[in-house]
Chain A
Amino acid sequence: MREIFDRTMRRASRHALLVYSILFFAFIYAPMMIIIVYSFNANPVNMMSWSGFTFDWYRTIFGLGTKLTEQTMYVESTEQLTNAVGHSLIVALTTTTISTVIGTLTALAMARFGFRLKTFYRVLVFMPMIIPDIVLGIALLIYFVTIGVKLGLVTIIIGHCTFLASYVFIVVSARLAGMDQTCEEASADLGASAYQTFRRVTLPLILPGVIGGALLAFIISMDDLVITYFIAGVDSTTLPVFIYGMLRRGIKPEINAIASLMIFFSLVIASLGLWFRSRSSR
């Protein structure tokens, strides 16, 4: 009797857990799905009340002709949007390059050398990831204004590098920690110089970690809002700051289309990145 009761309970709880978990993942994905679906909604007055299928909102953001009347059109200008995307790409690519180099060098130093200030460096490198981004944002704003640097793309790039180098450091360190050092020793024993060993042995071995770190840095840089918000100049708006500004001024259907495109692209890039990482770690 008790056994039957136990078994039924166990099965019931397993089913409850399954149903709950499906709801949990639905909660995570449903809002994004809703945005994508309603970005094709033709209703110009209430964007969440479905009245037919249209591509018009996508056409407006690319500056193509639409059937919409002048009043319902909103996009301030396609040029502003493309500028923002351009700025985001310039910042993200530069930041990724710089922070990947710095983060990797730091990871190598920490993994391959013993030195007195090691604990200090470990804490120091962790700090930019730990402090709230609003604090780092305003600290950089005050700093740049005090030393007289004009706010613009350069300040955004510097700001992103301060915390992204740490992210790259973490990813590359994880790779180095799981790595066999005997290959490097063998290379040195066989007479290779330190540079040759690095170029021919170490680098190929840590490359998946470096690429993973770079991808992470790229995505975080593309998406950063808070720090960029404070240290972006008037004419160096990035995509997240641009969208945030649009949202603050009022919600228009075009934002739906832009948002859907952003979700789509970031999910594709992230999927590729994660897939690549899971392949290379095997």
Chain B
Amino acid sequence: MALAGTRKRVRLAGLLSPITILLTVFFIAPLSILLVYAFLEPGLYGGVVWNFYDQNFGRILGWADGYYEEFDPVYFSIFGRSFRLAITTVLISLLLCYPAALWVTSLSERWRSFFLFLITLPFFASLVVRLFAWVLILKPTGWINETLISIGMIVKPFDMLYTEGAVVLGMVYVFIPFMFLPLYASLEKLDRSLLEASGDLGAGRFKTFMRVTLPLSVPGMVGGSIIVFIPSLGNFIVPDLLGGAKVLMIGNLIEQQFLEARNWPFGSALAWMVMVAVLLFLLIYVTVVNRAEALQEQ
């Protein structure tokens, strides 16, 4: 018996050691170093000085000494814009996906899997390429302007690229499958008999939707929102290609610190702030879902 227990333990250790080593050495350790870096002094010509230094966060949050490092409210406004754009992206993709997801659930089994296939497919096409498509469509000599000019609707091309709208459009476009799938999953799970009961009891379609369908799909809505929010908040590819220098987000700021300004400690501090924001949102998600599940059980 003791032998069997030992053997089992050895087997478990064997199964778990690869992931343990992988994540300790190449995940936990790098993130810890990132945290250490956020509290180190940036060297004059790139690199770091191994001193405890709280001015990296000071530059962002306001306790910089004003001598070596200066507090600059621009970082607040960039954070503000990132949150605003990420939340707009979430809301728009939610609004776009909901009716379509509802429609797909009303189809027969065969068609349902066909449309699910259609929605997952673009996820596999290269992200850069899908964004590049929008550059070609939106730019002053792009598809929209050329088409409108050739049919004589406008004379002068108008600017659509390098605006906040373009960035939101790009993020909605690339993250839309992430919103659709959880939403669809929660709508599909919905008990049809509840809808029928609501109808039998004299509620109209609108009322049924507001009182039954919508509340029961909250976990899917929140889940999709989180999965869209996380990659939107720290994004730098979309604002770089569609927002240009005009629409900076935290992601661009971090990238600049690493590849242009070579101020790694400051970049690390920014990155940790993104991390904390994301973890906070996740915590809210877990709480909301747990509460919703508790409500449903009652």
- Interface residue from A135, A140, A165, A262 paired with B129 (Cβ < 8 Å): A262
Known: A27-B96, A138-B268, A158-B26. 7 other contacts (CB 8 A): A28-B173, A48-B146, A109-B16, A139-B34, A143-B34, A225-B237, A267-B125
Residues of A within 8 A of B (CB): 6, 9-10, 13, 17-18, 20-21, 24-25, 27-29, 31-32, 34-35, 38, 46-49, 101-103, 105-106, 108-109, 113, 115, 121, 124-125, 127-128, 130-136, 138-143, 146, 158-159, 161-162, 165, 169, 194, 219, 223, 225-226, 230, 239-240, 243-244, 247-248, 251, 255-256, 259, 262-263, 266-267, 269-271, 274, 278
Contact B136 A101 (CB under 8 A): no
List of B residues within 8 angstroms of A46 by Cβ? 141, 146
Interface residues of chain B: helix, strand, loop or mixed (majority): helix
Contact B205 A13 (CB under 8 A): yes
Contact A31 B146 (CB under 8 A): no
Stretch at the interface among B51-59, B72-80, B189-197, B226-234: B226-234
Contact B103 A278 (CB under 8 A): no
- Interface residue from B125, B128, B130, B234 paired with A133 (Cβ < 8 Å): B234
Known interface pairs A31-B137, A130-B278. Does A106 touch B124 (Cβ–Cβ under 8 Å)? no
- Interface residue from A13, A49, A102 paired with B146 (Cβ < 8 Å): A49
Listed A/B pairs (22) with beta-carbon separation below 8 Å: A6-B204, A20-B100, A31-B173, A34-B137, A34-B143, A35-B133, A48-B146, A106-B18, A128-B27, A132-B274, A133-B234, A135-B234, A136-B31, A139-B33, A140-B26, A266-B125, A269-B124, A270-B120, A270-B125, A274-B117, A274-B120, A278-B113
Contact A38 B136 (CB under 8 A): yes
Query: Is the interface on chain B under 10, 10 to 19, 20 to 34, or 35 or more residues?
Result: 35 or more
List of B residues within 8 angstroms of A105 by Cβ? 14-16, 18-19
Q: At the interface, yes or no: B39 with Cβ under 8 Å from chain A? A: no
- Interface residue from A31, A140, A240, A271 paired with B126 (Cβ < 8 Å): A240
List of B residues within 8 angstroms of A244 by Cβ? 128, 237
Query: Which residues of chain B in 1-47 are interfacial with respect to chain A, using CB atoms and an 8 Å cutoff?
Result: 8, 11-12, 14-16, 18-19, 22-23, 26-27, 29-31, 33-34, 37
Please report the C-alpha to C-alpha distance between residue A270 and residue B126 in the assembled complex, in whole angstroms: 12
Number of contacts between A and B (CB, 8 Å)?
Answer: 228
Residues of B within 8 A of A (CB): 8, 11-12, 14-16, 18-19, 22-23, 26-27, 29-31, 33-34, 37, 96-97, 99-100, 102-104, 106, 113, 115, 117-130, 132-137, 139, 141-143, 146, 150, 173, 176, 204-205, 230-231, 233-237, 240-241, 251, 254-255, 258, 264, 267-268, 271-272, 274-275, 278, 282
